[in-house]
Amino acid sequence: MRSLDWHDGRLLLIDQRKLPEHHHQLHITTVDELIDAITSLAVRGAPALGIAGAFGVALSASRHADSGRPGADAVRADADRIARSRPTAVNLSRGVARALSALDRGADAVLAAARALLEEDERINRAAARHAADYLLETTSRRPLRVLTHCNTGSLATGAWGTALGAIRDLHGRGLIDEVLATETRPLLQGARLTVWELQRDGIPVRLCPDGAAASAVQNGAVDCVVVGADRVTQNGDVANKIGTYPLALAAARHGVPFVVVAPRSSVDETTATGAGIPIEQRSPDEVTSLAGTRTAPPGTSVYNPAFDVTPHALVSAVVTECGVRESKAPARELAELLGSRTAVVADFPFLGVAFQDLAGVYRHPGLLRTAAREIAGRARGRCNVVVGVEAGGFVLAAVVAAEAGLPLVLARRSGKTPGKTHSVSYRTAYSSDALDVPAGALGAGHRVLVVDDVLATGGTLAAARSVVEASGATVTRCAVLTEIAELKGAARLAPTPVDALRTATAATHTVPGGEPS
Ligand code: MRU
């Protein structure tokens, strides 16, 4: 199904204001009609707006060519009006700019550019959707999947197929969708009116969920992942999307559920550094004070009605485009620098030749430890269901990571400190030998473990921790540390288990010998 098409000099749009009751098509022949369709949401959704904007420039170019005037300035003025008609989705101004770039070659070239945008959209969406579906399968374990989505990101919001809804269609095609929870998406109900309509047409099981019930669905374990679209993704990975997206991301982060954004590359705005730079459209109070033409608030009620919110990248598991998966790496550089500035390196401590990474300054900084823990928790989201902290430095970080991720914490302690039965793995370093114990029964098959320590040097301690976790029957899916000493190649030793190190230190004199499980 196409939400928009070009025929006989007109832009044909499904009037999305009228769905699901009426399937009515608009025939747009002027820029003013198009701007009205865009601002009233007859056509909507970031990719669809980009295509519609390009056809708007084509309408203007053809009109000014017909009038016999050179018209380039007039077309540019029209293009500018179209681009500014809705400010948040970057696709609109991008689509307009792409069509305008053909203006020197005449009105037919402008139309060809708009047509190309429409034609390539389905292929782009299918590619992004396929990547996203694969990523969701990698980061969730229940089959078939229960997916929560917000607003409408399907064929109506794009040229065809859809972005987040495209990923759901892809999964459904593989027989892997149990059900979709679709939020109503107040105030204009794109979820209730459009997403449910699209899913029902495709025979995909869907339940409609009031916006206010979505967080509790995540809390109650009713969904395995949250998948949404985007109107603009900034350079650092912040995401502007339909109002109500941010609370879903908060709930997903709180409950360790993957929160995945699917969008075409044309929604990624590398020229805007962070979400703070995104213009957020404010819409009419009437959308909130009345419903289907009936007043729902007293006359004169003041209203707060932003059309979009911004989800910080730290809450986003991944942004997926047709180019692939970009997992959230949070403010990686700033965080690494902050950690470095608060880490003291003490030469020849506790032994000659050892450069000791003293993290006490990190622990004294209110907020820094939590930011670091959030980052680690974010990278592990959906991949791990239990955190193991390694004595002693690992305990500090692991406790905060577990609390941030909402996951249980198990302690891997040095020998003789864990009461009752234990699993135990001995290991030795060049200057001592020890063992790591975990309580018997604390871990088992089905546990996907994130092992947390403070520093990764040669990898001996983490390798021992991995061994003891595996001796319990669980699987280590990830390790995380605040600091990695790169020269000592601990991460290579732990391969194929991925290691998240928030900071890489170079300490040529650091010769802490690693432990060997024995
Ligand atoms: O105001 P709308 O309906 O144009 O909102 C835009 C959207 O459709 C959503 O924010 C969507 O999630 C991203 S665009 C596929």
More confident residue, 180 or 434: 180
What is the pLDDT, as a whole number, of residue 354?
Answer: 81
Our answer on whether the CB atom of 228 is closer than 6 Å to any ligand 1 atom is: yes
- β-bridge mates for residue 262, sequence order: 320
Atom 6, ligand 1: residue with shortest CA distance: 45
Count of structural domains, the chain:
3
What is the pLDDT, as a whole number, of residue 370?
Answer: 87
Our answer on whether the CB atom of 140 is closer than 6 Å to any ligand 1 atom is: no
Angle at 324 between CA 323 and CA 328, to 5 degrees: 120
DSSP state of 297: S
CATH classification of the domain holding 496: 3.40.50.2020
Tokens linked to 26: 């608009």
Query: How much distance in Å is there from the Cα of 258 to the middle of ligand 1?
Result: 20
Confidence band of 512 (pLDDT split at 50, 70, 90): very low
What is the pLDDT, as a whole number, of residue 428?
Answer: 79
Please state whether the peptide bond connecting residue 187 to the residue before it is cis, i.e. omega within 30 degrees of 0.
Answer: yes
Beta strands in 216-350 (DSSP E): 225-228, 232-234, 239-242, 259-262, 268-269, 290-291, 294-295, 308-311, 318-321, 324-327, 344-347
Q: Considering the domain boundaries, does residue 518 fall inside one?
A: no
Q: Considering the domain boundaries, does residue 302 fall inside one?
A: yes
CATH classification of the domain holding 256: 3.40.50.10470
Which of left, alpha, beta for 316 (phi over 0: left; psi -120 to 50: alpha)? beta
Whether 101 and 135 share a structural domain: no
Query: How much distance in Å is there from the Cα of 338 to the middle of ligand 1?
Result: 36
Atom 15, ligand 1: residue with shortest CA distance: 153
Our answer on whether the CB atom of 98 is closer than 6 Å to any ligand 1 atom is: no
Token pair 């029957």: residue: 473
Taking the CA of residue 242 as reference, the ligand 1 atom at the shortest distance is 10
What is the pLDDT, as a whole number, of residue 310?
Answer: 98
- For 436-477, the pLDDT digits (tens) are 999 999 999 999 999 999 999 989 999 999 999 999 999 999
Our answer on whether the CB atom of 189 is closer than 6 Å to any ligand 1 atom is: no
* Across 275-284, 398-407, 479-488, 508-517, least confident range: 508-517
Our answer on whether the CB atom of 111 is closer than 6 Å to any ligand 1 atom is: no
Q: Considering the domain boundaries, does residue 516 fall inside one?
A: no
Please choose from 51, 190, 321 the residue to mutate so as to test ligand 1's pocket, defined by most ligand atoms within 8 A of CB.
190
Our answer on whether the CB atom of 153 is closer than 6 Å to any ligand 1 atom is: yes
Residue 288 pLDDT > 70: yes
- For 166-195, the pLDDT digits (tens) are 999 999 999 999 999 999 999 999 999 999
Whether 15 and 164 share a structural domain: no
Whether 185 and 251 share a structural domain: yes
Confidence band of 508 (pLDDT split at 50, 70, 90): very low
Our answer on whether the CB atom of 248 is closer than 6 Å to any ligand 1 atom is: no
Query: How much distance in Å is there from the Cα of 140 to the middle of ligand 1?
Result: 25
- For 1-28, the pLDDT digits (tens) are 789 999 999 999 999 999 999 999 999 9
CATH classification of the domain holding 100: 1.20.120.420
Record the pTM: 0.71
CA gyration radius for the chain? 27
- For 326-335, the pLDDT digits (tens) are 877 545 667 8
What is the pLDDT, as a whole number, of residue 513?
Answer: 40
Please choose from 17, 86, 94, 151 the residue to mutate so as to test ligand 1's pocket, defined by most ligand atoms within 8 A of CB.
151
Whether 316 and 356 share a structural domain: no
Residue 67 pLDDT > 80: no
Whether 210 and 356 share a structural domain: no
Q: Work out the average pLDDT over 294-315.
A: 95
Confidence band of 431 (pLDDT split at 50, 70, 90): low
Taking the CA of residue 240 as reference, the ligand 1 atom at the shortest distance is 10
Query: How much distance in Å is there from the Cα of 231 to the middle of ligand 1?
Result: 6
Active site residues: 231
Taking the CA of residue 162 as reference, the ligand 1 atom at the shortest distance is 15
What is the pLDDT, as a whole number, of residue 201?
Answer: 97
Query: How much distance in Å is there from the Cα of 157 to the middle of ligand 1?
Result: 7
Confidence band of 69 (pLDDT split at 50, 70, 90): low
Our answer on whether the CB atom of 229 is closer than 6 Å to any ligand 1 atom is: yes
Distance separating alpha carbons of residues 367 and 363, to the nearest angstrom: 9
Identify the domain boundary among 119, 144, 162.
Answer: 119
Our answer on whether the CB atom of 92 is closer than 6 Å to any ligand 1 atom is: no
Atom 8, ligand 1: residue with shortest CA distance: 45
Q: Are strands 409-414 and 386-390 parallel, antiparallel or unpaired?
A: parallel
Q: Kindly tell me the number of DSSP H helices and DSSP E strands found in the chain.
A: 17, 27
Whether 278 and 365 share a structural domain: no
Beta strands in 243-392 (DSSP E): 259-262, 268-269, 290-291, 294-295, 308-311, 318-321, 324-327, 344-347, 355-358, 386-390
Our answer on whether the CB atom of 266 is closer than 6 Å to any ligand 1 atom is: no
Please count the other Cβ atoms lying within 10 Å of the Cβ belonging to residue 296.
11
Contact 31, 85 (CB under 8 A): no
Q: Work out the average pLDDT over 271-276.
A: 95
Our answer on whether the CB atom of 151 is closer than 6 Å to any ligand 1 atom is: yes
Atom 7, ligand 1: residue with shortest CA distance: 45
Query: How much distance in Å is there from the Cα of 477 to the middle of ligand 1?
Result: 35
> Can you say how many angstroms the Cα of residue 189 is from the centroid of all Cα atoms in its chain?
22
Atom 11, ligand 1: residue with shortest CA distance: 229
Q: Considering the domain boundaries, does residue 137 fall inside one?
A: yes
What is the pLDDT, as a whole number, of residue 397?
Answer: 97
Q: Work out the average pLDDT over 226-236.
A: 96
What is the pLDDT, as a whole number, of residue 71?
Answer: 82
Our answer on whether the CB atom of 307 is closer than 6 Å to any ligand 1 atom is: yes
Query: How much distance in Å is there from the Cα of 218 to the middle of ligand 1?
Result: 22
Query: How much distance in Å is there from the Cα of 271 to the middle of ligand 1?
Result: 21
Task: State the chain's mean pLDDT as an integer.
Answer: 92
Q: Considering the domain boundaries, does residue 511 fall inside one?
A: no
Q: Considering the domain boundaries, does residue 51 fall inside one?
A: yes
Q: Work out the average pLDDT over 218-224.
A: 93
Taking the CA of residue 152 as reference, the ligand 1 atom at the shortest distance is 8
Our answer on whether the CB atom of 242 is closer than 6 Å to any ligand 1 atom is: yes
Dihedral of the CA atoms 190, 193, 198, 203 (nearest 10)?
130
More confident residue, 338 or 203: 203
Distance separating alpha carbons of residues 289 and 301, to the nearest angstrom: 7
Query: How much distance in Å is there from the Cα of 132 to the middle of ligand 1?
Result: 18
What is the pLDDT, as a whole number, of residue 233?
Answer: 97
Whether 313 and 384 share a structural domain: no
Whether 391 and 465 share a structural domain: yes
Residue 510 pLDDT > 60: no
Q: Considering the domain boundaries, does residue 492 fall inside one?
A: yes
- β-bridge mates for residue 7, sequence order: 10
Our answer on whether the CB atom of 190 is closer than 6 Å to any ligand 1 atom is: yes
Q: Work out the average pLDDT over 275-296.
A: 95
Whether 338 and 285 share a structural domain: no
- For 128-159, the pLDDT digits (tens) are 999 999 999 988 889 999 999 999 999 999 99
Q: Which domain holds residue 111?
A: 4-119
Beta strands in 175-266 (DSSP E): 177-183, 206-209, 225-228, 232-234, 239-242, 259-262
Identify the domain boundary among 273, 298, 327.
Answer: 327
Whether 184 and 296 share a structural domain: yes
Angle at 46 between CA 277 and CA 159, to 5 degrees: 155
Identify the domain boundary among 300, 327, 354.
Answer: 327
Whether 398 and 317 share a structural domain: no
Q: Considering the domain boundaries, does residue 512 fall inside one?
A: no
Please choose from 13, 152, 186 the residue to mutate so as to test ligand 1's pocket, defined by most ligand atoms within 8 A of CB.
152
Confidence band of 506 (pLDDT split at 50, 70, 90): confident
Query: How much distance in Å is there from the Cα of 490 to the middle of ligand 1?
Result: 45
CA distances from 169 to 49, 72, 108, 256 (A): 22, 42, 35, 24
Whether 295 and 359 share a structural domain: no
DSSP secondary structure string for all residues of 260-273: EEE--GGGEETTS-
